[in-house]
Structure 1
Amino acid sequence: MFDSPLSASAYEVLQVDPAADDEELRRAYRLRLRQTHPDTGGDAAVFVQVQRAWELVGTAEARAAYDRGHGFGAEPAPEWSGWRPPAPRADTRPRARSYGHPGGWRRERYLTLVREWVGRGVTVEDPYDPALVRSAPHHLRRLLADALAEEETARTVADLGMGYTVWHDVAASGRDGDPDVKLDHIVLGPSGLFGILSEDFGGPVGVRRGEIVGEGIPEGSVAGLLARMRVVSRAARVKFTGAIVVLPDEDVDEAIQELGRVKGIPVALVSRSALATVLRRGLPGARAIGGTELFEIRTRLQHTAQFV
């Protein structure tokens, strides 16, 4: 919950200073429970966040560990690794064919901009230091959060096996050449051809009229995904069978939420842990692909896909 670069810290959720003593922290927790309890008109999602925050800092031992790992104390936190590039896997099982570098463009952009933000002549020893990330401007934390989300999706898709092919960070800007206009993932398998958007907005989301809504969420996330899919579809002369938006488990009310058909394409909002299930079984109304057709689609995408 609090490992996302965009997530509020446990202290922010409890609305208390990180330097507060144990009694102040306890009073803040009780107050936030009353304010957020659903029976008194509070938000159920925030109520759960308050309880989770207390689990993380409610005892001396838990609070000390949390502070070390999230940069709230004077001591460094060498054990923290949640925002670092993942280590190579030793798993030798057959994996999906994979092309491109998931999250790579946003990782590189984050590293460049965080050094510019710190200032010239200042050495950034650890660009993933929790205290540094927490204090960075929102747009930098968003870049890192998106990179992490794409990497998580890539790991899930790779485990689907050799019957699937996935392309990451596929350019979808048409003629304008903007490297940020891309499809996070294209997944091809027996259940269909899917365009996937991996996101982490740092908090709960809702759905209204086929779009994702919530605090700080940019408008048109689903529309943007479909527009980028159309660019790739025209270039490769392939037809997508579904669109998927993947979010962290704790930010969605339902593991799989179907948003209906948009311009003829089934769209779903899916929790990270449910993604493999959806990609194996497909979406309602999404046409399965097999045999020669699957080979032809893979060949066309291989010949036309460009990466950012």
Structure 2
Amino acid sequence: MFDSPMSSSAYEVLRVAADADDESLRRAYRVRLRETHPDTGGDAAQFVQVQRAWELVGTPEARSAYDRGRGSSSPEWGGASAASPAPRQTDTRPRARSHGQPGGWRRERYLGLIREWVGRGVEIPDPYDPALVRSAPPEIRHILADALAEEETARLVSELGMGYTVWHDVLADRDGIDPEQKIDHLVLGPSGLHALLSEDFGGPVGVRRGEISGPNVIGSPVTELVSRARVIARAAGVRFSGALVVLPDDDVLDAITELGKVRGTPVALVTRSALTTLLRRGITGGREVGGTELFDIRTRLQQRVRHV
């Protein structure tokens, strides 16, 4: 929590100024508890977020530590494009076959937009500096958050093992020209062929009429993912076993939420920590593949997949 470019600060979750006195902070916490408590009609995911915010700033010691780190410490947002070299790979276990650069297109998009936003000719020593990122408009921060989400999903699916094949940043535009029309990941294994969307909306989300809902949700992510999967299915002559929307653990209450079929494709929301479990067992209603069929699907995709 609070480690994403899209995340609200603990103070923003509690809806209080960062320089509020301790009594004002406590009052704000009590108000937010009443507003978000499930027993009074509130949202359970937001209720948990309020409690975690209080853990970070609810005591003088915790608040002092949080304030010292706020705006200056962050996860490794720079990733592979940061100045420091990537750590050496010490895990020798067999990995899933992987094609494409996860998060690469969104990384490039973010770098172009952040430089344009700052202003041409202005030097940016570190485009991933937390203070700079958090000051940027939400649409720019969302692009970086999604790039990080894609990279984390790629790390997780690589651990599925050599029986799986993964394609990242797959173009799914009928005309083959719009990089916005892409699928973040295709994962093929014994449980079937799955289309994955890696998302980070910066806070709790819910489900309404089979679609993701929330204050930061734009468009119809589930519908768009299924539509893009159908483009790939027609082009390669394959069938998808499921479509998965991968979300941060704190953004949904249940690790796996199956939404039933959308246009004939089983759909589920899944937390990052439950992703590999779901991909190994398969989604309800999804079709397993094996033997020569698995090799045939992999060959078809290899011949048809284009990366953005």
* Common fold by TM > 0.5: yes
2:286 counterpart letter in structure 1:
A
Cα distance change of structure 1 residues 129 and 21 upon mapping to structure 2, 3 Å threshold: farther
Equivalent residue, structure 1, for 2:97: 97
Deviates more, 1:238-247 or 1:188-197: 238-247
Percent identical residues: 70
Q: How many matched pairs?
A: 302
2:17 counterpart letter in structure 1:
D
Cα distance change of structure 1 residues 234 and 43 upon mapping to structure 2, 3 Å threshold: closer
CA contact (8 A) 2:255 2:274 kept: yes
User: Where do residues 217-232 of structure 1 align in structure 2 (5 Å cutoff)?
Assistant: 217-232=217-232
Q: What does the per-residue CA deviation read over 1:82-107, in whole Å, with 9 as the maximum and x for residues that have no partner? A: 42215444322110000001111101
Equivalent residue, structure 2, for 1:282: 282
Q: CA deviation at 1:40?
A: 4.1
User: Where do residues 6-25 of structure 1 align in structure 2 (5 Å cutoff)?
Assistant: 6-25=6-25
Equivalent residue, structure 2, for 1:159: 159
What's the secondary structure of 2:258's corresponding residue?
A: strand
> TM-score, normalised to structure 1's length?
0.92
Cα distance change of structure 1 residues 41 and 223 upon mapping to structure 2, 3 Å threshold: closer
Kindly report structure 1 stretches of 4+ aligned residues shifted beyond 4 Å.
none
What's the secondary structure of 2:112's corresponding residue?
A: helix
Could you tell me which runs of 5 or more consecutive residues in structure 2 were left unpaired when the two chains were aligned.
81-85
1 CA distance for matches of 2:78 and 2:223? 31
State whether structure 2 residue 148 is matched by structure 1 residue 148: yes
CA contact (8 A) 2:249 2:271 kept: yes
Q: What does the per-residue CA deviation read over 1:223-278, in whole Å, with 9 as the maximum and x for residues that have no partner? A: 11111111111221111111111111111121111111122221111111111011
Could you tell me which runs of 5 or more consecutive residues in structure 1 were left unpaired when the two chains were aligned.
72-76
CA contact (8 A) 1:163 1:189 kept: yes
2 CA distance for matches of 1:135 and 1:46? 23
> TM-score, normalised to structure 2's length?
0.92
1 CA distance for matches of 2:176 and 2:96? 31
1 CA distance for matches of 2:206 and 2:90? 38
CA contact (8 A) 2:206 2:212 kept: yes
Q: What does the per-residue CA deviation read over 1:13-54, in whole Å, with 9 as the maximum and x for residues that have no partner? A: 111211233343333323333443344444332222121111
Cα distance change of structure 1 residues 258 and 80 upon mapping to structure 2, 3 Å threshold: closer
Equivalent residue, structure 1, for 2:83: none
User: Where do residues 75-154 of structure 1 align in structure 2 (5 Å cutoff)?
Assistant: 77=72, 80-85=74-79, 87-88=86-87, 89-154=89-154
1:131 counterpart letter in structure 2:
A
Equivalent residue, structure 2, for 1:178: 178
Equivalent residue, structure 1, for 2:191: 191
CA contact (8 A) 1:3 1:82 kept: no
User: Where do residues 263-274 of structure 1 align in structure 2 (5 Å cutoff)?
Assistant: 263-274=263-274
1:80 counterpart letter in structure 2:
S
Q: CA deviation at 1:140?
A: 0.3
